[in-house]
Chains A and B, each alone.
Chain A
């Protein structure tokens, strides 16, 4: 049998050696903390504090505004300084709660939930929802929604996405090495919700130490298996991961639950553990601060709301002038024009590079080489779709299956003409989706 994988994909320089051996270190924020009300997919949260209020660490400061939404918690003690638009990593201004840190970190008393086996499924989902857990791999989809499929008894696999296929990122790796029991604990919580499901820990085989460790820890657990996947980007893309582990394939119109799967990434599963076993809301995440401009690349456990400037400082500052700073990984992250933005629930890394590949080359004419077709995990023809998109030809775009693009970026990466294929296709997809909404 061949290795578990999918067709297409790329092998970019992975840069993980910069930070993979650096243990997770806690960062205490010094300055103000900023909490955008929209750090998840769905309705923005609604503030339940006002300017001048004193808050404690772990206190809820914004309430979910509907089913597809998530609450937000203060991660320090201090005073609400303002509720105003602040810039986030995407470059737009988002209504945010700003808290002035009093440096005391006074914490509320957490109510420890009943032991897992005594909790009903509804209670578990309510705890996850109340804790504000969202997909921390980048999408930010509220986790309780994912955990509430129409027919829970039809879920056969709960997959913990431990692939970490994005170059440079080592946050999931460190979590698996340092706190594997929390990951397994979180997966056990999820399995409690789905009686007919098996748990899969899906790890890329460039992390043999994680695979060995997780295998040892789950040896006596008949419901959980550890699967080693071929190391290839985007092995951790949801659809590709489901295919690699279960041979089931879904297109863009379907959800993982349609083929009996639920997928969540490492940090999300750990957040579920914190919420359901310890009764703690989502307050921090692991962020890899790395890149060739950073003096001391590291993995930090960061309180949500912490300013990126502080993370760079903690990592020894810049040893060379950065030219490009990315929130997230180099393939799917957001380029940011300065560091004055807060850490959100979905920020997995801060990558500071001394070189910008994108502006280094001018895009030239497509030579039809077909490299984009070879690597596209969606198995579409990116060069054609980009042409359709640039012409604004929605009909051709749809007939060439443009909506099947997952924006992984492989096509732009390999293009020898350096055409921004992913960007063109992504833009057209947003236009199509917006038009659909209008109708």
Chain B
């Protein structure tokens, strides 16, 4: 052994967790809900998923090649963005919608701000909101089995009782975007992420609880359980709370900040849903929350050990 050994600063061991295996976990966790979307809405849903994922990965690859930057598509973050974006599209959207959305998500929201880790807004949500504004009618047209129908939230909004049972909403037998309808499939995915240590309950928990409290206080039905259940299960709340509000890059890194962020999202979602122009509010609440992250982090910097931070 005449060769010199490798040297480095301590520590000399690393955990097995890498960015790409975290992203792989998220992809796996999204599969039940995406699979349900395909089962429920038909093969057209699969077409959307394929288009958005391919667009996101290719956009990142081509951008990096053109800019002569290291290619990072193997970290799978673009796959996650593509999958999330497809899950946020209505199945009846034209096929090119996912393409435009995917390019906007990756190039405008992510790469122009410096790539993975530097974007200040969740790329998939940024793209969804862009599409909602640019193509409002296509993005809010929920046709399913060739019948255009209202989503449970839209019905609640119109002051009607939703004609879906709570059971339907939990299973996902309702109108909505490709990936948001099945609460049970989303929760299975979320449990997987929690077990794998990818996410925790701080943000989803404080988000959903504060949203429910807001509804009880200000909603027209107050404590009506079926109304609250419809609000939780009937829209994009579960998808948003577990898979998009928890996006590492665009949520606060501090523990206290995460609770604060969750509460802010809950309140904003409540305001948008009760008083806003559209029935949904999760996407706008989260991207608004994204913008406040630097501020939230600034006021929630932890106290270090020995200066009061040792107890938490």
Residues in A lying within 8 Å of B, measured CB to CB: 6-7, 10, 12-13, 91, 167, 239-240, 243, 249-252, 254, 318, 321-326, 330-338, 353, 356-361, 364-371, 373, 377-381, 383-384, 400-401, 404, 407, 409-410, 412-418, 420, 422-423, 426
Contacts and interface: CB of A to CB of B under 8 A. Distances in A.
B18 A404 contact: no
A269 B59 CA distance: 62
Contacts of B5: 322-325, 335-338
Contact of A13 (B6, B13, B306): B13
Interface in B289-311: 301-307, 309-311
Given A318-B1, A361-B18, A373-B253, A330 B12 contact: yes
Contact of A337 (B4, B251, B253, B301): B4
Contact of B12 (A91, A356, A361): A356
Q: How many B residues are at the interface, by size bracket?
A: 35 or more
B18 A416 contact: yes
Contacts of B12: 324, 326, 330-331, 333, 335, 353, 356-358
Nearest to A251: B306
Instruction: Give the 9 A-B CB pairs with smallest separation, nearest first.
Output: A251-B306, A409-B11, A379-B309, A335-B7, A423-B9, A404-B304, A357-B14, A365-B117, A249-B310
Contacts of A383: 253
A249 B253 contact: no
Contacts, number: 172
- Could you tell me the dominant secondary structure of chain A's interface residues? loop
A252 B14 CA distance: 26
Contacts of A356: 6, 8, 12
B10 A422 contact: yes
B185 to A, nearest CB: 25
Contacts of B116: 364-365, 367
Nearest to A11: B15
B255 interface: yes
- Could you tell me the dominant secondary structure of chain B's interface residues? loop
B138 interface: no
B308 to A, nearest CB: 8
B136 interface: no
A336 B12 CA distance: 11
10 contacts: A321-B1, A335-B8, A358-B12, A365-B118, A367-B249, A373-B302, A381-B301, A404-B305, A404-B306, A417-B18
Please indicate which of the listed interface residues B72, B116, B303, B309 has the most CB atoms of chain A within 10 Å of its own CB: B309
Contacts of B13: 12-13, 167, 330-331, 357, 413
Given A251-B306, A361-B14, 20 more contacts: A239-B305, A318-B1, A338-B5, A357-B13, A364-B19, A366-B117, A367-B19, A368-B251, A373-B253, A373-B254, A373-B255, A377-B305, A381-B301, A404-B306, A416-B21, A417-B19, A417-B117, A418-B14, A418-B18, A420-B8
B256 to A, nearest CB: 11
Contacts of A420: 8-9
Contacts of A417: 18-19, 117
B84 to A, nearest CB: 15
Contacts of A364: 19, 72, 75, 116
Contacts of A415: 14
Contacts of A12: 13, 15
B37 to A, nearest CB: 26
A420 B253 CA distance: 18
A323 B7 CA distance: 9
Contact of A378 (B1, B115, B301, B304): B304
B306 A249 contact: yes
Nearest to B23: A367
A348 to B, nearest CB: 13
Contacts of A414: 15, 17
Contact of A401 (B307, B311, B312): B307
Contacts of A410: 11
B165 to A, nearest CB: 39
Contacts of B303: 379
Contact of B19 (A330, A416, A423): A416
Contact of B10 (A7, A10, A409, A418): A409
Please indicate which of the listed interface residues B117, B255, B312 has the most CB atoms of chain A within 10 Å of its own CB: B117
Given A12-B13, A423-B9, A369 B22 contact: yes
A87 to B, nearest CB: 12
